[in-house]
Amino acid sequence: MKNILLLVGSPRKEKSTSNSLGEYLLNEFKDEDFNTKKVFLHYKKQIKKQEILDNIDWADLIILSFPLYVDCLPADVIKNLEIIKDEYNSNQNKYFFAISNCGFPESHHNNTALKICKQFAIEMNWEWRGSLAVGMGAAINGSQLIEPKGMVKNIIQELDNVYDKLAHTDDLIKGSAAPSIPQWLYILMGNMGWRYQALKNGVWNELKDKPYKK
Amino acid sequence: MNALLFNGAKADDEYTNNIGKEIIDVGNKEGWEIDSIILRDKKIGPCRGCFNCWVKTPGQCIIKDGAQEVVQKIVNKDLLIYLTPITFGGYSYHLKKVLDRSIGIILPFFRKVKGEVHHKMRYTQYPYLLGVGIDYSDERNNAQLFEKLIERNSLNFEVDGFESMVIRPDTNKEDIQSELIVSFRNVGETV
């Protein structure tokens, strides 16, 4: 295993928590002289489809990092997985690992989406290497993960653990982590954050509007 | 009783499209008025993850395309039916593109449901969910995973209960009709 491909499944691309998590893991591979590439799965031009298929062909290990949308993978990620399933026909053995992050405090909200990723790997005849479920993704908010300290200490420690297993063992990985923040504080900060943004946008009083009520 | 059917089939997926007709047929006979939307015909772009539907135009997505017309129908229905070819145990792209664009119908704030955190409701009432998955694979995990996803989605709507059925192309028509009748009647008793 020498070629590692990161697929980032967030429309927020470089600014996303999916990118932060995937990039940290990818850099660990890079530091140990693996070949690495990164591709964003939200794109407009049809030409990108072939680029993705070519990169899949190049890769030995594919890491998919995405945000949880409605208990599942974002639509554009599903579209790409459908394309890969329909159009990538090689029998080469590949390894597949998935990272899902959600805005909820509990990381287990990601479990159904990660099982869908496992099912994709099964249907591709790829080897499922496991997953990492991340809660409180909003606390990372797309920031670069550098050192295992502060509220991201748990996350970085778990990513280091994932890297070690992915790069040096055949173990099936079932990781989960969330920033070290009490649940009540995360919820309080989140609720204040939404209100602050609404205030800035001049819609404080409309936050709970019901535009579609008949 | 009003239902909304989201048909997430691809254009060449004749079997799923025929099941869509069957759902309408059975539903009508059971006293349901069904508004059916073929999602592949709607120009609906992907969610941008901007959360402006919560903090800039509360309750409505800022992207002006076919999604708003579809999403606004959800909150005024008694039953929402997801019809989809089961895709790795979950939804097709065509179905999921609408669900991603519908998060404005709930609030950004959190509440606890059955011991875990979910978003608060924007409206007082949401539709009951019926998931109809077409399973073309021989993957034994698919039915279980599909049902789990419907269950998780129904928690987001704070609706007590859900209906889920998985149909394989070799399922006979009478069995499909019987199961649909049971589902429509079960939901009918709750609304």
CB contact under 8 A, B141 and A201: no
Which residues of chain A lie closer than 8 angstroms to B76, CB-CB? 212-214
With a cut of 70, list the residues of chain A below it in pLDDT. Answer: 44-47
Chain A residues whose beta carbon lies within 8 Å of the beta carbon of residue B107 = 207-208
Angstrom distance (rounded) from CA B141 to CA B101: 28
Q: Which residue of B has its CA nearest to A43?
A: B46
pLDDT value of position B140: 78
How many CA atoms within 13 Å lie on the side-chain side of A109?
29
Contact (Cβ atoms closer than 8 angstroms) between residue B75 and residue B104: no
Do the Cβ atoms of B99 and A183 come within 8 Å?
A: no
Beta carbons of B89 and A116 less than 8 Å apart: yes
Residues in chain A: 214
Pairing between β-strand B163-167 and β-strand B106-113 as defined by DSSP bridges: unpaired
- State the Cα–Cα distance between residues B31 and A8, nearest whole angstrom: 46
How confident is the model at residue B172, as a pLDDT? 95
Its sign, for the CA torsion A204, A205, A207, A211, is negative
DSSP string for residues in B151-162:
HHHHHHTT-S--
Task: Provide the 3-class DSSP secondary structure of residue A174.
Answer: strand
Of A70, A116, A213, the CB nearest to B75: A213
- The pLDDT of residue B47 is 95
Instruction: Report whether A135 contacts A155 (CB < 8 A).
Output: no
What amino acid occupies position A149? K
Closest-CA distance of chain A to residue B158, Å: 14
pLDDT of residue B33: 97
The alpha-helical segments, DSSP class H, found in chain B are 14-29, 52-55, 67-74, 93-100, 141-156, 173-190
Identify which of B55, B72, B137 has the shortest CB distance to residue A198.
B55
List CB contacts (< 8 A) between B103 and chain A: 69-70
CA distance to B24, B84, B95, B100, per residue, from B40 (Å): 18, 11, 8, 15
Q: Please tell me the predicted confidence (pLDDT) of residue A156.
A: 96
Chain B residue numbers touching A203 (CB-CB < 8 A): 55-58
Chain B residues in contact with A72 (beta carbon < 8 A): 90-91, 96, 99, 149
Give A205 to chain B, closest Cα distance, Å.
Answer: 10
**A with B: how many residue pairs have Cβ under 8 Å apart?**
156
Distance CA A85, CA A82 (A): 5
What is the DSSP pairing of strand B116-121 with strand B106-113? antiparallel
Contact A190 B108 (CB under 8 A): yes
Sign of CA dihedral A83, A15, A197, B155: positive
pLDDT of res. A47: 62
Give the Cα separation of B176 and B11 in Å (integer). Answer: 22
- Which tokens belong to A171? 């173990």
CB A99 within 8 A of CB A132: yes
What does pLDDT average to in each consecutive run of 10 residues of chain B (191 residues)?
A: 96 95 97 97 95 97 95 94 97 97 97 90 95 90 94 91 94 96 93 81
User: Which chain A residues are Cβ-neighbours of B117 within 8 angstroms?
Assistant: 104-106, 183, 187
Residue from B35, B86, B100, B124 whose CB has the most chain A CBs within 10 Å, to mutate = B100
Residue with tokens 């017309």: B69
